[in-house]
């Protein structure tokens, strides 16, 4: 009896092959130009079985959008003789400049904590690669502080109702980029999850870059800093002088 | 009106920035100070990264002081000789300031140092100005007659030069040292230093009052140019779009300020300036002792 059941189960498993994810992003390039106030990316796609039909069964979708990483030093203020000064600090080698997670259900309901940590499902699970030797509790405190700060800058976010799935085939999620995003290559990863297991994943890239005048200014200030400085001085002297002349006429 | 700032990396309401520039412009026209002591903290409060705020504010002060120097220079209110000595000191000072800035940044205390400097300097000067203007308004303790021509220390320095417009025969070392001190502060605090320079010229050097404001602006003009270059080359934090917006406001504001200055009584003006200075100092003072909004700060490596 038991052997029979097992056999039936095995057959059922064979019939249920891993589905395919077909992801897409509404725009592969975000142009930061004058008047840029942030933008909204639409991450959408379909989940199909290998025969190209609707995957049919229940699954959940998690999307993770990550900006380019940078090494940072995080300093913590402490009260010292009544005055708040920077005291302890901690270094992190790869802090994503932007991080957003959206899912169709609360993460805790679809995967266990270990899986969530592996796939970075949630701002609490971002892998920051801390460097140096500090105690785990202290490290956790610093990490929480960093995530909290970035969350309030609107750069880290999680939305557990952010993915809509229709007809068990199509999914879509809207993720907003604020105006203070860093430029660089962003990766949008989509995961299909069933029975607490990631059954399919796919990746797409979004390029965020400055264009036109904004790109020129950013490049000049870095590569031609002497010319840039002189231009800034000339601009302010010129405007001050012109205003003086103009008002003298009135 | 949304404007994207390419160096600060965020978008701001352009009208607010123009208004902020206008406010500091009125102050500079009225009192002969650059107004940087107000711009930098307000920009930071608005959400501009502190380094960008300090660097761009010093560039803006250049523009605001050009107008003032032209106006004062036209009626002989600038002692160019004195100004040049101070500028030389200021350039040396801003070099020192850049070194100090880097040192305090590396040990992570730059924001505490900046706030403490603001509190101490603005607090002291604000109180002095307030006391003096109240005394003058009440008509007692005639400060003009009572005060010394210049500080005895200044008189003991060797090698005297004649500064005709200031009506002084003193060693150029004295204004040079004053210039150096102001240069350091300009680099550290992102201010022109007018609020320190004016009292220093009056009470330490003993310059005649009618050239003080013009010469102070002349010094600020060149020192902020040097700081802008220093920032462009080291921190690369001068945001030209932010500077433009601030300037639109401040050059216009400066004109209104200088027209108002002609009509108002100088004692009242000084009292108002003292009140503003004290308010900024008090706010900074609270910031040192209250629990800050942000316990954590991010520094790129």
Q: Which of A38, A89, A218 sits opposite B6 (nearest CB)?
A: A218
pLDDT (tens digit, 9 = 90+) per residue, A156-185?
A: 999 999 999 988 889 999 999 999 899 999
* Beta partners for residue A138, in sequence order: none
Whether residues A205 and A239 fall in one domain: no
Q: Of B7-16, B109-118, B187-196, which one has max mean pLDDT?
A: B7-16
Mean pLDDT of chain B: 82
Q: Which of A83, A221, A242 sits opposite B288 (nearest CB)?
A: A83
Does residue A1 fall inside a structural domain?
Answer: no
Interface of A with B in 58-117 (CB under 8 A): 70-77, 79, 82-86, 89, 91, 95
Whether residues A128 and A235 fall in one domain: no
Q: Into how many domains does chain A fold? A: 2
A243 touches chain B (CB under 8 A): yes
Least confident of B104-113, B235-244, B245-254: B104-113
**Residues from chain B contacting residue A155 (CB–CB below 8 Å):** none
**pLDDT range class, residue A55, cuts 50, 70, 90:** low
Question: What average pLDDT score do residues B290-301 get?
Answer: 80
**pLDDT range class, residue B145, cuts 50, 70, 90:** very low
- pTM for the complete prediction? 0.81
Q: Which is more confident, A244 or A230? A: A230
Does residue A9 fall inside a structural domain?
Answer: no
- Chain A residue with the nearest C-alpha to that of B66: A240
Whether residues A23 and A58 fall in one domain: yes
Q: How far is CA B236 from CA A243, B40, B230, B256, in A?
A: 27, 17, 9, 33
pLDDT (tens digit, 9 = 90+) per residue, A119-157?
A: 999 998 998 888 877 788 888 899 999 999 999 989 999
Whether residues A237 and A216 fall in one domain: yes
Specify the pLDDT at position A53.
67
pLDDT (tens digit, 9 = 90+) per residue, B174-211?
A: 888 888 988 888 777 767 777 788 878 877 887 877 78
Whether residues A152 and A93 fall in one domain: yes
Domain boundaries, chain B: 2-289
Specify the pLDDT at position A3.
59
Whether residues A50 and A113 fall in one domain: yes
Specify the pLDDT at position A52.
66
Does residue A25 fall inside a structural domain?
Answer: yes
ipTM: 0.83
Does residue A90 fall inside a structural domain?
Answer: yes
Surface-to-core class of residue B46, CB atoms within 10 Å of its CB (0-12 exposed, 13-18 middle, 19+ buried): middle
B144 touches chain A (CB under 8 A): no
**Residues from chain B contacting residue A241 (CB–CB below 8 Å):** 66-67, 70
Question: What average pLDDT score do residues A10-22 get?
Answer: 62
Separation in Å, CA of B49 to nearest CA in chain A: 11
Does residue A35 fall inside a structural domain?
Answer: yes
Whether residues A174 and A228 fall in one domain: no
Interface of B with A in 241-260 (CB under 8 A): 241, 243-244, 247-248, 251-252, 254-255
User: Residues A126-134: contacts with CB within 8 Å, 24+ apart?
Assistant: A126/A96, A126/A99, A126/A156, A127/A94, A128/A92, A128/A93, A128/A94, A128/A95, A129/A92, A129/A93, A129/A94, A130/A90, A130/A91, A130/A92, A130/A93, A131/A91, A131/A92, A131/A93, A132/A90, A132/A91, A134/A90
CA dist B294 and B141 (Å) reads 47
Whether residues A39 and A111 fall in one domain: yes
Mean pLDDT of chain A: 86
Strands A60-66 and A184-194: antiparallel
Does residue A4 fall inside a structural domain?
Answer: no
User: Domain of A43?
Assistant: 14-210
Q: Which is more confident, A124 or B70? A: A124
Does residue A217 fall inside a structural domain?
Answer: yes
Chain B interface, mutation test: which of A149, A232, A244, A247, most B Cβ atoms within 10 Å?
Answer: A232
Q: Of B18-32, B195-209, B257-271, which one has max mean pLDDT?
A: B18-32
Surface-to-core class of residue B115, CB atoms within 10 Å of its CB (0-12 exposed, 13-18 middle, 19+ buried): buried
Specify the pLDDT at position B146.
44
Whether residues A141 and A163 fall in one domain: yes
pLDDT (tens digit, 9 = 90+) per residue, A192-228?
A: 998 888 988 999 999 999 998 889 998 999 899 999 9
Binary contact (B11, A82; C-beta < 8 A): no
């Amino acid at each position: 009896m038991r052997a029979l059941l097992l056999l039936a189960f095995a057959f059922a498993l064979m019939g249920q092959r891993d589905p395919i994810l077909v992801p897409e992003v509404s725009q592969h390039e975000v142009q930061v130009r004058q008047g840029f106030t942030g933008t909204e990316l639409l991450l959408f796609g379909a989940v199909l079985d290998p025969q190209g039909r609707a995957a049919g069964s229940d699954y959940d979708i998690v999307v993770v959008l990550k900006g380019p990483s940078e090494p940072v030093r995080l300093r913590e203020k402490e009260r010292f003789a009544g005055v708040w000064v920077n005291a302890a600090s901690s270094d992190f080698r790869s802090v994503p400049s932007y991080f957003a997670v959206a899912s169709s259900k609360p993460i805790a309901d679809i995967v266990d904590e270990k899986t969530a940590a592996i796939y970075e499902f949630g701002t609490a699970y971002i892998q920051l690669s801390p460097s140096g030797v500090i105690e785990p509790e202290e490290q956790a405190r610093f990490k929480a502080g960093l995530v909290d700060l970035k969350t309030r800058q609107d750069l880290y976010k999680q939305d557990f109702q952010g993915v809509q799935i229709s007809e068990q085939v199509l999914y879509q999620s809207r993720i907003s980029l604020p105006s203070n995003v860093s430029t660089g290559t962003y990766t949008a990863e989509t995961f299909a999850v069933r029975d607490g297991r990631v059954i399919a994943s796919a990746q797409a890239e979004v390029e965020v870059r400055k264009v036109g005048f904004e790109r020129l200014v950013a490049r000049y200030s870095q590569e031609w800093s002497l010319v840039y400085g002189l231009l800034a001085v000339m601009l302010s002297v010129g405007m001050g002088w012109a205003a003086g002349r103009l008002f003298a006429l009135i | 009106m949304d404007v994207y700032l390419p160096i600060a990396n965020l978008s701001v309401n352009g009208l607010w920035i123009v208004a902020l520039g206008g406010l500091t412009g009125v102050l500079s026209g009225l009192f002969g100070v650059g107004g940087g002591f107000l711009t930098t903290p307000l920009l930071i409060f608005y959400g501009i990264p502190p380094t960008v705020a300090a660097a761009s504010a010093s560039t803006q002060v250049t523009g605001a002081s050009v107008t003032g120097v032209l106006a004062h220079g036209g009626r002989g209110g600038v002692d160019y000789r004195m100004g040049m000595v101070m500028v030389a000191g200021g350039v040396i000072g801003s070099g020192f300031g850049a070194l100090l800035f880097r040192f305090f940044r590396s040990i992570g205390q730059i924001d505490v140092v900046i706030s403490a400097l603001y509190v101490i300097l603005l607090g002291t000067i604000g109180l002095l100005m307030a006391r003096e203007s109240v005394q003058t308004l009440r008509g007692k303790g005639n400060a003009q007659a009572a005060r010394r021509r210049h500080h005895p220390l200044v008189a003991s320095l060797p090698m005297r030069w004649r500064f005709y417009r200031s009506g002084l025969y003193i060693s150029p070392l004295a204004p040079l040292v004053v210039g150096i001190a102001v240069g350091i502060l300009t680099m550290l605090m992102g201010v022109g230093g007018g609020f320190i320079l004016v009292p220093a010229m009056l009470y330490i050097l003993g310059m005649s009052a009618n050239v003080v404001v013009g010469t102070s602006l002349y010094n600020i003009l060149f020192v902020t140019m040097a700081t802008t270059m220093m920032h462009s080359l080291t921190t690369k934090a001068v945001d030209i779009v932010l500077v433009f917006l601030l300037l639109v406001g401040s050059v216009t504001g400066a004109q209104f300020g200088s027209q108002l200055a002609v009509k108002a009584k100088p004692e009242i003006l000084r009292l108002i300036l003292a009140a503003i200075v004290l308010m900024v100092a008090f706010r900074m003072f609270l910031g040192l002792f209250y629990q800050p909004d942000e316990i954590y700060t991010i520094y790129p490596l």
